[in-house]
Every structure is written in structure tokens, then in C-alpha cells.
Amino acid sequence: MSELAQLHDQVRSCPLCRLSNTRTLAVPGEGPEGPQILFVGEAPGYHEDQQGRPFVGAAGQFLESLLGSIDLRRTDVYITNIVKCRPPDNRDPQPDEIAACRPYLDRQIALLEPRLVVTLGRHSMQIAFPGATISRIHGQPKRIGDVVYLPMFHPAAALHQQRYRSLIEEDFLKIPALLAELSTVEPEDDPDEAPEQLSLF
Ligand code: URA
Ligand code: SF4
């Protein structure tokens, strides 16, 4: 079994926070083992909790159509959440729950080595932009170590509010150019070479 599959199993039986008492199924995440992009949502909702899969409800359909706008399918990307179990009545995940679950996300990023991590909504934004305000920083990429993070509005919020909907649609359209630019940056193998400047940063 791959390390990723082992991690998924570990999440499915995780007892580390109170959400383990109320979940039906934990939702580890899904997607290919070598994705270019990893999406991080907030938390499973009703349908995700029933099926053990991320973004299978209305927000998921919208996410799929956003992916379609840049010629990607859901199976091209890895999709997960900042907390892997559904909070009761879809309340916000609490800080101690986010903290307890965080090592799983860190491990997913380390194992999957995506070029780009797209955070969806203000909770998952905190992994890379602590204290930031989403309406100010959405759509602006930031490099941390080997990974570039791109914050976006949450598709569930954007689905029903036209203002956010236009903004998330515009932010998605930035992804192809960003990926193309990232793919021209090789890992540092020649220490004498001048560092490349990324125009989008
Ligand atoms: N919203 C999320 O943030 N995550 C899901 O998996 C589904 C809806
Ligand atoms: Fe474990 Fe995360 Fe589920 Fe809490 S939310 S029980 S830490 S998998």
C-alpha cells in the first residue's frame, strides 16, 4: 500500500479530536498521487460525511465547473479539507480541531509535492496566510519553500453570491499561467545560476 493510502486509512480511523464522535465517515481526500494542484477546502458537509469523499455536493459541482473552465477534470487534481471530519450542523471548525487535523494536511502536501496549493475559503487560507483577510488577498499567489499557495473564496460562498462568484471565476483563470510559469522554474541544481524571477509574485 502506498504511503498516501496508508495516510487515508489512518484518517478514516482517527480519534484525535471530538469530531470523531459525530462523523459518519472521515473524508481523507482524493485524487492522483502526482497532482500539479492540491485544493484545500474547509470541512466535509452532509453528503461528504455520508460518502467519505470530498466536495460531492453542490459546492463540488461548482468546483468541477470551475476546473472545467481551465480544461481540468476533478480526477486531475487532489482535493481535501483542512479538517477531515464533518462538524455537527456544518458549524465552523474550531481552532483546536484545525490544529489536531493539521498534521494530515502537512503530510499530504509533503507526500504529493503539488506545484500549487489552492486554499478555498478563509479557514484553509490560514495555513499559508495567517491573519489575512480573504477579500484583500484572494487570487494572489505566495511561495513558501517549495510550494506556491493561491488563496480563493470558498465555492459554497461563491455559488450563491454573484460578487464572489465572479471573483472566484476570475481567480481560477489565473491558474494556467501560474502553472506554466512554475513549470519553467527548475529545482535548484545549479548554485551558480542566478535565481529566476517569477513575474506573478
Ligand atoms: N465544502 C468543503 O469545504 N469541503 C467539502 O468537502 C465539501 C464542501
Ligand atoms: Fe482526526 Fe481530523 Fe477527524 Fe479530528 S477532524 S478526528 S483530527 S481526522
CATH of the domain at 70: 3.40.470.10
In a domain, 54, yes or no: yes
Is the pLDDT assigned to residue 168 strictly greater than 50?
yes
Within-domain flag for 196? no
Per DSSP, the three-state class of 79 is strand
Q: What is the pTM of this model?
A: 0.93
Could you tell me what percent of the chain has a pLDDT over 90?
88
CB 165 within 8 A of CB 158: yes
Name residues whose C-beta falls within 8 Å of residue 161's C-beta, 6 or more positions apart in sequence.
none
In a domain? residue 195: no
pLDDT the model gives residue 2: 95
Q: How far apart are CA 154 and CA 122, in angstroms?
A: 8
pLDDT at residue 120, rounded to an integer: 98
Tell me, using a 6 A CB cutoff, whether residue 59 lines ligand 1.
yes
- CB of 56 closer than 6 angstroms to any ligand 1 atom: no
As given in the structure block, the three cell numbers for residue 9 are 486509512
- Average pLDDT of the residues of the chain: 93
Strand runs labelled E in the chain: 37-41, 78-81, 116-120, 142-144, 147-152
Residue to substitute in 24, 50, 81, 154 for testing ligand 1 pocket (most ligand atoms within 8 angstroms of CB): 81
158: left (phi over 0), alpha (psi -120 to 50) or beta: alpha
Q: Round to whole Å and give the CA distance between 122 and 40.
A: 11
Residue range 167-185: average pLDDT? 93
Residue 154 lies in a domain: yes
What's the residue count for the chain? 201
Closest ligand to residue 87's CA: 2
Grid coordinates given for 44: 466535509
**Interval between CA 186 and ligand 1 midpoint (Å):** 33
Instruction: Check if 41 has its Cβ closer than 6 Å to any atom of ligand 1.
Output: yes
Domain total for the chain?
1
| Closest-CA residue to 134 (of 115, 116, 157) | 157
DSSP 140-166: --EEETTEEEEEE--HHHHHH-HHHHH
Q: Report if residue 197 sits inside a domain.
A: no
Q: Is the residue at 200 inside a domain?
A: no
Residue 193 lies in a domain: no
The DSSP symbol for 119 reads E
Domain membership of residue 167 (yes or no) is yes
Atom of ligand 2 nearest to the CA of 97: 4
pLDDT digits (tens, 9 = 90+) for 66-101: 999 999 999 999 999 999 999 999 999 999 999 999
pLDDT per position as a tens digit, 15-46 = 999 999 999 999 999 999 999 999 999 999 99
Nearest CA to ligand 1 atom 7: 55
Q: What is the mean pLDDT of residues 47-70?
A: 97
**From residue 65, how far is each of 81, 101, 171 by CA, in Å?**
19, 28, 14
Range of the domain at 43: 3-186
